[in-house]
Amino acid sequence: MELTVQIPDDLAIRMSASGCDLSRRALEALALVEFKSGRITKPELRRLLGFGARYRLDGFLKSHDVCEDYTMEDFERDREDVIVARGKGLRVTGTLEVLDLAAQRGLVNFAQAVQPSSADNV
């Protein structure tokens, strides 16, 4: 589907003065509103924005101050992804790798690592 938005020329000139793509900005704004309202899912948002990798969508959401609940189920799914990636000989980096290695060495409990601290509730 193609969508056309009418913007007065003087405003369009000012809005695009920084060289940004107004069409892309409009798409991102609409997609973000639809996601926040619950009318589209995270996979649908990723598809709509053309992001192939989850981390790109996560970065997009973070840059727009969209925080999501990260459940134990999410964590376990991500941990399984790390195990699968390592099984394929891929190197995994980042927080999840650090937590996984720490858990393997008995230094941290996964459930405790992802629980919000009492300071987060202040």
Are 84 and 101 in a shared domain?
yes
- Residues 59 and 32 grouped into a single domain: yes
d(CA 10, CA 81): 49
User: Which of 113, 84, 87, 112 lies closest to 98 in space, CA to CA?
Assistant: 113
Number of structural domains in the chain: 2
Same domain, 46 and 78: no
Question: Is residue 4 a part of any domain in this protein?
Answer: no
Identify whether the C-beta of residue 110 lies closer than 8 Å to the C-beta of residue 79: yes
pLDDT digits (tens, 9 = 90+) for 41-85: 989 999 999 998 778 888 899 899 887 776 777 777 777 877 887
Residues 78, 58 share a domain: no
pLDDT at 88: 84
AA identity, residue 34: E
Instruction: Check residue 113 and give its pLDDT.
Output: 61
Closest CA to 27 of 48, 11, 57, 43: 48
Reading the block at residue 56, the tokens are 């790109």
